[in-house]
Structure 1
Amino acid sequence: MRGTAVTEHADKVQAALKSSEAARSALVASWQRSSHHHLDPAHRTPPKRLTESELMFARQRIEPLIAVAQASLDRLYLAVGGVGCCVLLADRDGVPVERRGALADDETFHDWGLWTGTVWSEESEGTNGIGTCLVEQRPLTIHRGQHFLTRNTALSCTTTPIFDHEGKLAAALDVSSCRADLTEGFVNLIALAVGDAARRIEADNFRLAFPDARIMLAPVAERSAGALLAIDADDLVIGATRSARLALGLTAESFAKPMPAADLLGGSVVAERELREAERAVLQRALARAGGNVALAARMLGISRATLHRKMNRLDLHRAT
């Protein structure tokens, strides 16, 4: 980047920091945070990179999430890779631990720091897609001149947070490009693709965390595919995704004591019917696998024979078996 452009961008950032825009603009608020980290928008120091051993440790911390994300990362890259974009899965510290990109673009992206092991936290790189997304915990795009550091203003980064099975921030999914002809319309399409992939990763990770539970959609107004509940064999809610927690007003304390699914779902006719049908299907499968042997089916479900009989009576399953 030419010296004039560097100066213009740095001057623009400094002028915004001296104004009152931070109270009204999320972008300027991020620039302000970047300034508080003692970053200079004009500085040219290359991005920080982890050592191989540090990167290995970062990967190990979220290895289950990386494993379940593979198919979604592949699908996302198929959608955006042909137009000069790379896909990055970063941990909650802003370090990409998994990447998809075209071999022909590798040298360019490596030079820009769009690579595994590069530190993209807001503290290290100022306003950027990954770092700012992790701070604000919301989907966003940081497009070219919106970056804090001048050396990053050729990049366009669209990022969505990923939350774990307890609703805690776990990672960020990013699609980045350094193409100058990336249009606003295409950036919007990228944002939709990134959001869909992130929700799919969350759902797959949630199912992995509760392998023996029934997973059902929470009866929320938007019927979000990401609003999932995990319900055990005794009809107790034992888990909820962040979307479901927000929609139903659940907190970590909500799971400290048994929570009957029917109570949580508030008597919704649709929800009650879905819950009943889901439970009936689980019992029918267990009884079928046990050849109709109630005692064996109960052991397979991890409940007592008496509990299974009560459920069968309530669901009128005796005639079916």
Structure 2
Amino acid sequence: MQKHGLTPDEHRAPERLEQSALNQRRAAVEQFLSVAAPRLDALFALVGLSGFAVLLTDSDGVVLDQRISDADTAAFESWGLCAGANWSEEREGTNGIGTCLTERRRVIIHQGDHFLSRNTDMSCIDAPIYGADGAIIGALDVSSARADQTEAFNRLISAQVAQTARAIEEANFRSTYTPARIIAAGTDSDAATLLAVDGNDLVVGATRAARALFGMAGTGPLTARPAADLLGRDDERTGFERAERAAVMRALARAGGNVSQAARQLGVGRATLYRRMKRLGLAET
């Protein structure tokens, strides 16, 4: 009421973007929508028969994609739970999508928890999704307007929503850093904890949770850092020695342990490779 000038008894229709404006927003996050689509399908397959809609928004709370059964489409569209609708807190007050994005956390906004009285028949369950740059990219929403919806059931659905949001975040990150090697940190966080490591063993990307875990910048491009420095796998060798050892080990692995063949791959003589192997502490295989 104070910040956005809203009143609970407003009965205006939810704001909905023109198709051209919606298409522009979708085009701006095309990769995100592409990797999310099969995961939205899987989530809808679990909850759709119970009268739920599955919605995916951008960081402004505008619905970009939806999964709604044909029988429920008209009802959800009349409530504004459809593609192009703006569910920001600025526009709708407390609601699943807008509050999730504002507070950057999982939320359940059950019926009377909504600010606008016209939304109090709904139950909305949401989880934020962070992009490959660590910034929030959107929200995953599962909504229902069933009168018999219970808070206990909402909590069960919330766990599945969080799991799906994490899967979308992971898939989007992997897609962004396709050429890189992806390392997953073993944490129990709801968020994906992934590092992208390039061919030079430099960390060039990290999810929001990984950035927090390893003390990196919260959002934006990263300054490349050696993976060994972050993961605590350093040893007494210099950087050049580690690189040389890794190159020799890769050549030996490709050659199935055949030193002569590995030497040819590396462009050195067999005797030279033996000397390097001895210096690097590599036994003949």
Superposition TM-score tier, normalisation by shorter sequence = 0.7 to 0.9
Q: TM-score, normalised by structure 2?
A: 0.82
Residue 70 in structure 1 maps to residue 11 in structure 2: no
Q: Which among 138, 156, 162 is matched to residue 189 of structure 1?
A: 156
Q: Percent identity among equivalent residues?
A: 44
Which digits, 9 at most, give the CA deviation of each residue in 1:53-74, with x for residues without a partner?
1111111111110000011101
How many residue pairs get aligned? The number is 261
Residue 210 in structure 1 maps to residue 143 in structure 2: no
Deviation at 1:184, TM superposition (A): 1.6
Asked whether the 8 Å contact 1:160–1:198 carries over to 2, the reply is: yes
What is the alpha-carbon distance in structure 2 between the residues aligned to residue 126 and residue 205 of structure 1?
A: 29
Deviation at 1:223, TM superposition (A): 7.0
Q: Which among 137, 140, 161 is matched to residue 104 of structure 2?
A: 137
Asked whether the 8 Å contact 1:93–1:121 carries over to 2, the reply is: yes
Which digits, 9 at most, give the CA deviation of each residue in 1:12-41, with x for residues without a partner?
xxxxxxxxxxxxxxxxxxxxxx54100111
Change (3 A) 1:176 1:295: farther
Asked whether the 8 Å contact 1:286–1:297 carries over to 2, the reply is: no
Which digits, 9 at most, give the CA deviation of each residue in 1:90-133, with x for residues without a partner?
01111111000110001100100110001101101111000111
Residue 36 in structure 1 maps to residue 3 in structure 2: yes
Asked whether the 8 Å contact 2:129–2:138 carries over to 1, the reply is: yes
What is the alpha-carbon distance in structure 1 between the residues aligned to residue 192 and residue 163 of structure 2?
A: 9
- Greater displacement, 187-196 / 244-253: 244-253
Which residue is equivalent to 1:264?
230
Q: Which among 164, 185, 188 is matched to residue 131 of structure 2?
A: 164
Which residue is equivalent to 1:273?
none
One-letter amino acid of the structure 1 residue matched with residue 194 of structure 2: L
What is the alpha-carbon distance in structure 1 between the residues aligned to residue 49 and residue 94 of structure 2?
A: 27
SS in 2 for 1:36: coil
Which residue is equivalent to 1:243?
209
Q: Which among 52, 67, 85 is matched to residue 85 of structure 1?
A: 52
Structure number with larger C-alpha Rg: 2
Asked whether the 8 Å contact 2:166–2:190 carries over to 1, the reply is: no
Deviation above 6 Å: which 4+ runs of structure 1?
A: 292-298
Which residue is equivalent to 1:119?
86
SS in 2 for 1:106: helix
Asked whether the 8 Å contact 2:106–2:162 carries over to 1, the reply is: yes
Asked whether the 8 Å contact 1:217–1:223 carries over to 2, the reply is: no
* Aligned-residue CA RMSD (Å): 3.2
Structure 2: gaps (5+ residues): 236-245, 256-260, 268-275
Q: Which among 174, 177, 196 is matched to residue 144 of structure 2?
A: 177
Which digits, 9 at most, give the CA deviation of each residue in 1:163-198, with x for residues without a partner?
011111101000000001111221011101110101
One-letter amino acid of the structure 1 residue matched with residue 230 of structure 2: L
What is the alpha-carbon distance in structure 2 between the residues aligned to residue 113 and residue 262 of structure 1?
A: 50
SS in 2 for 1:76: helix
Q: TM-score, normalised by structure 1?
A: 0.73
What is the alpha-carbon distance in structure 2 between the residues aligned to residue 199 and residue 147 of structure 1?
A: 25
Q: Which among 231, 235, 256 is matched to residue 197 of structure 2?
A: 231
SS in 2 for 1:60: helix
What is the alpha-carbon distance in structure 2 between the residues aligned to residue 36 and residue 67 of structure 1?
A: 35
Structure 1: gaps (5+ residues): 1-33, 270-278, 299-309
Asked whether the 8 Å contact 1:126–1:148 carries over to 2, the reply is: yes
SS in 1 for 2:86: coil
What is the alpha-carbon distance in structure 1 between the residues aligned to residue 169 and residue 265 of structure 2?
A: 34
